[in-house]
Structure 1
């Protein structure tokens, strides 16, 4: 099957990329990483004005009225620029939490006992806003009163740990897929950085991209990105939990291994604070812990495979 973006989808992707390039370019990324964690409320409202949070909200409720494939395209672009903030929780809260759709309200969620951007959030929900759930306590009470700050490897993702409040809800498949889309964006960014550096960095009188070992790293980066992209886009069309789980695993691998390979292309300078690559890797690590992490997706796929094997008859067990 061949997947191809429609003209409207390409326009949406390009529009989101343009907004983000104008409001959160390399200078803003560096400033955010160097300073104390702080959410840019003006940027958040600009995203709301652009319809980022209300993409899947019906037009009758003031939303854009698009579907999951369009949301995946938008979140891929957000992941590509390492846009900070509880984007998924706010997106999923649109239409359920007043002000979330327009970016006036920042919504975060308790996810596996951790909460991202708790001190900057206006509303905290108990999970990734599964269907039918409502808003929880604000950051200044309830969850916020019992939360303990933990050190995050990613300077752009402040974390708090909260006490367990009962059995953990199953991850929302939409949240899992949008996390995969962000990981796909991060993997794409790692690939872009590696190729750009390989073209411009010279050793022994030629660009390092001319050396076979570097060529192989860049080629492997691209292959993982495109395989993950095909899986994420397909899962956005089918919305099948097994497809989403597979897409999540492939996107996590593309993001983490891609950032590591990008570091190898950069060599020793890739580990320095001044180079963006380490931020790409650290964000990828943090995302792998979201919405059940890879373990939940692996278990879901295992159950699916065992179910298919069992239904095929004893000869195939």
Structure 2
């Protein structure tokens, strides 16, 4: 099986990257942080116009007519720039919730007892009775918690056919979340390498020190391993492979953000640096869909 991107897929990824870098650069990112959980509806509609949400809808239904492998590319790019909002839920709802495909409607969903962007959502999928706001570690992902039924905790085993999520759509949502984690891991790798090339200590750039080289090399390996797993799972749609991809992607996003902080030293821990935003978003994504314990159970059952 050939996992290399086709010319069309490469062009798609480049186009989405150009769109997001032009529309959601660092200034927009920091503005979103300052906005404190208010979604940019104009940007949401632009994403809809660009086909972000309707990517997998058939052309006869007004969509782009592409598949899950292409959707993974889009969500990698969204993860790179920390694009906020319930992207996965709205993408999954395109075609079933009127207005979702066009970006005119914001859709969120209950996942693992958590509901992101509840106050900003026009449509909520799932029971949110008793939802209470909770303090989110990520300033770009406001969260509510809903009571989990006792039966949910009692049935903690993970069936091999559907690792802890609801059928094919749930599996796809897990994979797209993993793709966001891969994009974030790629971004922190690039940030660490760029900083290591310019920051000087003891008369030379810190990238020349073996310890820093090892950190950056490890970040690259984790990113590429997770990327390969996510893209392979997008082609096979195998539940166990999706669970494994989520495990690898969560590890890459969180570990790379920590190592990026290490490369930056003291300045990386300041609010003005963007590194902590990647780490906090990675933590939230890791818990929002198929957390590590259940993903590992799915992989173990498959083996």
Q: TM-score, normalised by structure 1?
A: 0.89
| C-alpha separation in 2, matches of 1:61 and 1:291 | 29
Give the alignment partner of residue 222 of structure 1, picking from 210, 214, 220: 220
Helix, strand or coil: the match of 1:102? coil
Q: Deviations over 1:254-292 (max 9, x none)?
A: 001000000000011111000000001000000000122
Count of residue pairs brought into register by the alignment: 289
Structure 1 residue ranges (4+ consecutive) displaced by more than 2 angstroms after TM superposition? 163-171
The equivalent of 1:74 in structure 2 is 74
The equivalent of 2:203 in structure 1 is 205
The equivalent of 1:195 in structure 2 is 193
Residue 170 (structure 1) shift: 2.6
Helix, strand or coil: the match of 1:124? strand
| C-alpha separation in 1, matches of 2:165 and 2:2 | 32
Q: CA RMSD for the aligned pairs?
A: 1.3
| C-alpha separation in 2, matches of 1:170 and 1:230 | 22
| C-alpha separation in 1, matches of 2:182 and 2:94 | 23
The equivalent of 1:86 in structure 2 is 86
Q: Does 1:65 align with 2:49?
A: no
Q: Does 1:285 align with 2:269?
A: no
Q: Deviations over 1:167-187 (max 9, x none)?
A: 557341101100110000010
| C-alpha separation in 2, matches of 1:165 and 1:53 | 31
Residue 146 (structure 1) shift: 3.1
- Written as runs of structure 1 = structure 2, the 5 A alignment for 1:233-272 is 233-272=231-270
Higher relative contact order (CA 8 A, sep 6+): 2
Residue 28 (structure 1) shift: 0.5
Q: Does 1:96 align with 2:96?
A: yes
| C-alpha separation in 2, matches of 1:109 and 1:64 | 24
Q: TM-score, normalised by structure 2?
A: 0.93
| C-alpha separation in 2, matches of 1:11 and 1:28 | 24
Give the alignment partner of residue 136 of structure 2, picking from 139, 152, 170: 152
Gaps of 5+ in 2: 153-163
- Worse-superposed segment, 105-114 or 145-154: 145-154
Residue 297 (structure 1) shift: 1.4
